[in-house]
Amino acid sequence: IAGITQAPTSQILAAGRRMTLRCTQDMRHNAMYWYRQDLGLGLRLIHYSNTAGTTGKGEVPDGYSVSRANTDDFPLTLASAVPSQTSVYFCASSDLPPGEQFFGPGTRLTVL
């Protein structure tokens, strides 16, 4: 059982480029989340989805978009990357709330 996988592991991106971070879970969890982790700021929620077909905005959604076409996949898109989006991005999933969120290994993104 893989749990949650994220791709790519790391990426260096030129400012202004479009980028999609991929996230797939095999636990059939109904809820999925995207966080960014920055030094001294902890984990901040970008977007979430409680079930396939629905999404919601978290604490820091500007500059990011998500989609949830099916239960397993929850891609995060940066339409036009900016240097302030340099961060480590974590995807997570959980069963019915409230409960444990399972985190992926993260994607380290650098925007130059």
The site for another protein (CB under 8 A) is made up of 4, 31, 33, 35, 40-45, 48, 50, 56, 58-59, 90, 92, 94, 97-106
Shortest Cβ 98–another protein spacing (Å): 4
- The answer to whether residues 91 and 66 touch, using CB atoms and an 8 Å cutoff, is no
Cα 4 off chain centre by = 11
Residue type, position 98, single letter = P
CA dihedral (65, 86, 107, 92) positive or negative: negative
Shortest Cβ 36–another protein spacing (Å): 11
Q: Which is nearer to another protein, 14 or 96 (CB)?
A: 96
What are phi and psi for residue 20, nearest 5 degrees? -120, 125
Q: Which is nearer to another protein, 36 or 111 (CB)?
A: 36
Q: Which is nearer to another protein, 9 or 14 (CB)?
A: 9
